[in-house]
Every structure is written in structure tokens, then in C-alpha cells.
Structure 1
Amino acid sequence: MTTQRRYDIDWLRVIAIALLLIYHIAIVFQPWAMFLGFIKSDELMEGLWKPMTLLNVWRIPFLFFVSGMGVYFAIRKRNWKELLVERSRRILIPFLFGVVAIVPLHFLIFQAYYHLPLAYSPHPAHLWFLGNIFAYVLILTPIFFFLKKSKNGAFKKKLSAWMSNPLGPLSLSSLFVLEVLLVKPQVFEMYALTWHGFFLGIVAFFCGFLLVYSGESFWKTALTWRWAYLGLALGLYLTRWFSFDLVAPGYLMAVESVTWILAIFGFGYKYLNKPSATLTYLSQAAYPVYILHMVGLHAAAWVILPLNWPIFFKFLAIIGFTGLFCFVIFEFLIRRIPFLRPLFGLSWDYKSPKINPISVPSLD
């Protein structure tokens, strides 16, 4: 079975990983960086956090949406056993490898920078996302294959009809509001290693699956109503900024998160659904960069923060250093050495053009 490749989703995933890198670097310049295990700059850029708060309500939920979308494409060619084997290879192996070989590196850099005793206990750190994704696959696989068998049933038809209404995709925000009301997170944007992050993630993962399961109706709606979704998202963000000093009630942030995501899908579908050699390369690099970037970030902070440079130059330099570090490791080691490729979620074949998303195989 063949399917049309969705280059816009690939592009959006690459962009989301790039924004994640910048977001993590911005933490270095915040007064609470050390509490999250980041090396902290003595000079701060607290104003930098305002645009980061816009990203923070949707960046992780968006990746969960995309991961759920990928499962839909994957099960069109696989039975449940093949899906679990493939996801174990693409997600579980890189997750376990990262916990024992990558996370310790940036933990040790942090400890050395602050002259702390060198020690390490197994910890997922930023790779918690992969652990969650693998758990969601295990939990939701029976539902996904049930829906696959019922692809011409009444539920699919009703879902498709509902998603053709602009309120259809927007109604998904009610699930996220319900999650906030039940879990009551102290901080909406605190996703890593929290029950809030786990349950929000599984809702987003399942919703991503449902959006593509519903067929073309969702994409047409997102395309047609993208400006309305964007306006609603921006309005909610400005309300959060000026009325709540950026800390709005969780239910409002849940709705804001979904409206940003719907707008992003709409604009991506409009402008990014185009193939390119650059996209092929960046899509291959996205997963390894995600796994590696914290090591490069900590090394960059160690080298650059002590320099007598203007603070904004330091911020830009850490971005450049981290990006270059990840590129060199990916291009000259991970991409070219066969036994390293599966440890970072890539296929064994060095010459394979196949695109490997961060948490799912390619959407083709």
C-alpha cells in the first residue's frame, strides 16, 4: 500500500526540534536554570523568557500529536506485532542507549562545572519523551488496530464529518481541559516526568492519530480556518500575558495550546508540503540531534559562559556551538557508522534515503 508523503509534517517536526534546542538554551540564561539541571549564566536574560512562554504551551504537545499521526501511517503497512517490533527498534533502543550513554555525559559536565562529586544514577532526563511515546504505543495499540479494522465504519464517517466543521478540531481542546481539571498540575508547562505530562501526552498522541484517521476533512478544515485558529491562539496568549502575567489558569492554557497546534498544521499544510533534499537530510538528523543536543549545550555553556562577551553574543554562540556539535557528530559518526545508526533511531543502511521522524518511522 502506498500513501502520499506529508512533507509538511516532516518540516514541522524538524522546526519543532530546532525550537526545542533554542528553548533549552534560553533556560541557561534564567535564574532558575540550576533547578532544572542546566548550567546557569551569571548574567541573565529574563526578558528572553516571554517568547519562550509562547512556545512552551504547544511545543511538547505538538510533538505528541505528530507522533500519534505517525502511528496511523505505520499501521497501514504493519500488523500489531510488526508495529511493536519496529517501535522497539526505533524508540526503545535509542531510549535505553541514551539513558546509559548520553544522559550521563551532560550530567557529568554539569557536575564538573560546579565542582560537584561525579556520580550518576540512571535517569531519562530529556529523553523522557521517548519513554512516554513507547508507553503510549503499548497502551493504545489495541485501540488503533480496532479502529483500523473499522476504517469504513460509522465512527470513521461521523468523525470525518465532525472534522469538516471548524469546531470539530477545536473540540479536542475539551479533552485537554478535562486532563487539567482532573490532574491539577501546579505548572501547565511542566511536562517532563510528571503525571500531567504523561496524561497530556497520551491525549495528544491519540488525538494526532484521530486527526489523520478522520481523512482529508481535517486538513481541509485546518487549511481553511488557519487564520481563525491563529487569531484565537494569539488572543489567548495576549490574555495570558496582560491579564495573568503569563500564568493563566490551566484550562485556558490547554485551549491555547490546541489552537496554536491547529494553526501550525494549517499553515504547514499550506506552505510546507513540498519535498527537498534539505528536508530529507534534516529529517534524518532530527532524531539524533534531539538525543545529542543536551551534551552539546552543556559543553557550549562550559566553554562560552566564562568568556568576556556581551550576553546576547553568548546566547547566539551557544546556539551555534550546540548546532555545530550536533552536526559534526551526526554527519561524521552517527550517519556513517552502521552500528551507531540504530542507537540513534536510524536504519542500518547508510545510503538509505528513508526519513526517520523523532518518535515514529517515516510518514510514507
Structure 2
Amino acid sequence: MQRHYGLDWLRIGAFAILIVYHVGMVFVPWDFHAKLPGAWWVAVPMMASNPWRLALLFLVSGYASRALMLRNKAPWRFARQRSLRLLVPLIFGMAVIVPVQPWVELREKYGYAESFVHFWLHDYFRFGTIGPLFLPAWNHLWFVAYLWVYTLVLALGALLLPSFVRRAIQRGFTWTMRGPALLVVPIAWMVLVSFWLFPGARETHGLIDDGVAHFSYFPFFLFGYALACAPQTLAALVARWKASAVIALAAYVVVAGVEIRWPGSRMPYPWGIVFSVARSVEGWAAVAALIGYADGHWNRDRSWRRMLTEAVFPFYIVHQSIIVLVAFWLAPLALPGGVAFAVLVAATLAGCWSFYLGGRAIGPLRPLIGLRRHASRRTHVDPRPAIV
């Protein structure tokens, strides 16, 4: 497989949106580890990416996994390689990067009075609870943990299923996902998950008790895996990206309208149903539009692409801890919302770049922040797929 630069750019953009989204979480009424004074309307622009940002990342990860599976040839080699690349930074992140988040949350919400050093040395690794929080925690790194589990399931399936069964599944996917079903089937599945399989359920990010997340994200991961060897499906996404974008925009207008009418409250019948269905439509239509546009317009390399692609994983590992800590420091200053938002974005970007540039320059730290142990000497050719 050739590297798909369009999906690299999508992945970079999706993680950039994720960072801004998590900055926004500080200001909306929704629960978060640290809060600053905000306004209900901040939730409205956040709804523009809320239904699809994670689904897109899992899909792109599935696409990259197909390339890695083909390159490693044996499923057990694929599983070993992915385990090393995902579990090492996950464990490092849980032990070193994440702890500041529950410390801030316990201090701000539950009256915890000890210093961070005391918390990290005496309370964080208790494998039990303080207040409502179970420690140690992975917080935002749940994505990495879920991706590792999905990788193992994929490798197990490739090991156990005969090759003719795998080929039949791929042919069935390609034959189905090239016409109207390309929009209808994923949207119908998302509505089914929301209204029949897990009505009213919310994601827990606790792995074992998070059926709604697994039934939502694992199919996107598998879709990306199958898409990597389905050029007809990719061509259909390219041909329909404008129609998909119009549908996604119309669905977002409905979502935003309902949110503005009933901000942060329980929506009366039937508007709660309308809201959930519109989110499902927006979620898949936006993903379909973005993939189609990326393949048709962004599938080309640029000088900054390689560094940004490499930087994405370290940025993801550290960004939320920076946001939470800086918000904690800003709280006593009572800055206007716009100023606080700008400071948070600037501080987060500066901290992420420092974390990435410093970590990649020190050989032993590279695997801990999600980078290959040794920097590649290749400067012009980069056929390897994105790692997350």
C-alpha cells in the first residue's frame, strides 16, 4: 500500500480540533477535570465536531492498521509491533503525564488538600478510589487503550479466520459500500446503537462497562481497515463528498438549533429524539465528506507533513494535562473568558511543542512519547502509515 497523505492531513486536523475541543471543555457546563467561568453557548460550536471527531480518528487508525498488517505479514508480528507502540506510551502517560489531572480535580471539586508530590507518591498508585475517582487513571488516554484492544481483536480475527472468509468479507464490504448504502448503513447503525442497543447510555471510557463506545467506534475502526483495500468505496466517497457535506451541515443546523432552544437541559419529546438522530446523521456524513475531500484534494505531500504526522501522538499524550494545569493556575486570576481561552490555547501549543521537540531529541524518551526508538534517516520517502 502507498501512504495516503490525505488521511495524514485528516489525522493532523482531527487532533488539532481535539485539542481546541478540550480547551473548550474548560468553559462549557459539561463535566471536566478543571473549570473556568464560561457560557452555555460555547457548546454550540463544539457540537460541530462532537459527533464525528473520534469516529474519524478510529477510522483512520483502522486504515493505517491494514497497511501495518500487510507490512508485518503475520498477525502476531502486527500485534507485537502495535502493542509496543501503544502500550509503552500508555503506561508512561498514566504514570507520569495523567496524574496532574485527578490531582487538580480532587483539589477543585472534593477538597483534597495535599500537594501534587504527596498525591503522586502516596495516593495516585493506590489502585482504589479517592472520592469518586479510581486511581491510577488513563483519562484522555482511553483512546490509546481502546485502540490497542481493537488491534488485538483484529489480529486475532486475522489469525483465526481462513483466508477465503476474509476475502469474502472484503468483497462483501466493497460491493455494499459503493452506492446509497455508503451513507444509509453507517447512519442506520449509529441510530440503532443510540436508540435500541444502548438507549440513553453515555460513554464511560472504562473499557469493561463501555458497550456504547465499543459498538460505536469498533465498527469505524473495521470500516477503515476494509476501506484501505476497497478503492471503489474510496472513489464513491470522493464522488459524493459534496452531498455528504451538505447533509452534515444540515444535520448540524438541527443539532445547534435544538441545543440553543434547550441549552444544557433535558429536551422535551420529540426533540430529544430529533437531536440524537441529527447527531448520528452529522457524525457519519461529516466523516464521509472529509474522507472524500481528503482523497480528492489533500492526497499530496508537503514539507511540514512528516513532522506534524510524527508530532500528533506526543501532542495527544500531553495536551490535556497542560490544559487542566494551566486552567488551575488561571482560576484565581478571574480573566475574561476570551482572554483565558487564548491563554489556554497558546500555553497548550507551546507545551505540546516543547514536549515533542524535547522528547524526540533524547533517544530513551522517544518510545515513551510514542515515537520510534531511532529517528529515520530517510528525508524524501516516507511510506510508513500513521501510527495511531
TM-score scaled by length of structure 1:
0.87
Provide the C-alpha distance between the structure 2 equivalents of 1:140 and 1:19, rounded to a whole number of angstroms: 28
**What is the CA distance between 1:291 and its match in structure 2?**
0.5
Provide the C-alpha distance between the structure 1 equivalents of 2:204 and 2:368, rounded to a whole number of angstroms: 25
Is this contact kept in 1: 2:6–2:298, CA < 8 A?
yes
Q: Which residue in 2 is equivalent to 1:209?
A: 225
Is this contact kept in 2: 1:287–1:357, CA < 8 A?
no
Q: Which residue in 1 is equivalent to 2:59?
A: 65
Q: Which residue in 1 is equivalent to 2:127?
A: none
Matches within 5 A, 1:109-188: 109-111=104-106, 116-117=112-113, 118=119, 119-120=123-124, 121-144=135-158, 149-150=163-164, 153-186=167-200
Provide the C-alpha distance between the structure 2 equivalents of 1:167 and 1:321, rounded to a whole number of angstroms: 44
**What is the CA distance between 1:235 and its match in structure 2?**
1.5
List alignment gaps of at least 5 residues for structure 1.
360-364
Q: Which residue in 1 is equivalent to 2:130?
A: none
Of 281, 297, 302, which residue of structure 2 is paired with 1:276? Answer: 302
Of 18, 23, 26, which residue of structure 2 is paired with 1:25? Answer: 23
Q: Which residue in 2 is equivalent to 1:362?
A: none
Q: Which residue in 2 is equivalent to 1:92?
A: 87
Q: Deviations over 1:79-98 (max 9, x none)?
A: 11111111111112211221
1:282–1:231 CA distance, 2 compared to 1 (3 A): same
**What is the CA distance between 1:158 and its match in structure 2?**
4.1
Does 2:38 match 1:49?
A: no
Is this contact kept in 2: 1:345–1:356, CA < 8 A?
no
Does 2:35 match 1:40?
A: yes
**What is the CA distance between 1:45 and its match in structure 2?**
3.1
**What is the CA distance between 1:352 and its match in structure 2?**
4.8
Q: Deviations over 1:294-343 (max 9, x none)?
A: 121122213334335432021011001011011011102x1111111111
**What is the CA distance between 1:31 and its match in structure 2?**
3.0
Is this contact kept in 1: 2:64–2:385, CA < 8 A?
no
- For residue 340 of structure 1, what is the amino acid of its counterpart? L
Does 2:254 match 1:256?
A: no
Of 344, 366, 374, which residue of structure 2 is paired with 1:341? Answer: 366
Provide the C-alpha distance between the structure 2 equivalents of 1:305 and 1:323, rounded to a whole number of angstroms: 19
1:59–1:358 CA distance, 2 compared to 1 (3 A): farther
Q: Which residue in 2 is equivalent to 1:239?
A: 254
Q: Which residue in 1 is equivalent to 2:131?
A: none
TM-score scaled by length of structure 2:
0.82
User: 155-164 vs 308-317, which deviates more?
Assistant: 155-164
- For residue 386 of structure 2, what is the amino acid of its counterpart? P
Q: Secondary structure at the match of 1:306?
A: helix
**What is the CA distance between 1:73 and its match in structure 2?**
1.0
- For residue 139 of structure 1, what is the amino acid of its counterpart? V
- For residue 313 of structure 1, what is the amino acid of its counterpart? V
- For residue 75 of structure 2, what is the amino acid of its counterpart? W
Is this contact kept in 1: 2:194–2:200, CA < 8 A?
no
Is this contact kept in 1: 2:170–2:226, CA < 8 A?
no
Is this contact kept in 2: 1:286–1:357, CA < 8 A?
no
Provide the C-alpha distance between the structure 2 equivalents of 1:148 and 1:233, rounded to a whole number of angstroms: 38
Is this contact kept in 2: 1:287–1:356, CA < 8 A?
no
Determine what percentage of the aligned residue pairs are the same residue: 25
**What is the CA distance between 1:112 and its match in structure 2?**
5.0
User: 350-359 vs 218-227, which deviates more?
Assistant: 350-359
Provide the C-alpha distance between the structure 2 equivalents of 1:97 and 1:185, rounded to a whole number of angstroms: 36
1:281–1:294 CA distance, 2 compared to 1 (3 A): same
- For residue 248 of structure 2, what is the amino acid of its counterpart? A
Provide the C-alpha distance between the structure 1 equivalents of 2:201 and 2:25, rounded to a whole number of angstroms: 16
- Stretches of 4+ aligned residues off by more than 6 angstroms: none
Provide the C-alpha distance between the structure 1 equivalents of 2:66 and 2:167, rounded to a whole number of angstroms: 16
Q: Which residue in 2 is equivalent to 1:291?
A: 317
**What is the CA distance between 1:14 and its match in structure 2?**
0.8
**What is the CA distance between 1:145 and its match in structure 2?**
5.4
- For residue 108 of structure 1, what is the amino acid of its counterpart? W
1:243–1:26 CA distance, 2 compared to 1 (3 A): closer
1:269–1:145 CA distance, 2 compared to 1 (3 A): farther
Of 300, 311, 329, which residue of structure 1 is paired with 2:326? Answer: 300
Is this contact kept in 1: 2:67–2:385, CA < 8 A?
no
Q: Which residue in 1 is equivalent to 2:375?
A: 350
- For residue 344 of structure 2, what is the amino acid of its counterpart? I
List alignment gaps of at least 5 residues for structure 2.
114-118, 125-134
Is this contact kept in 1: 2:360–2:366, CA < 8 A?
yes
**What is the CA distance between 1:173 and its match in structure 2?**
2.5
Does 2:240 match 1:225?
A: yes
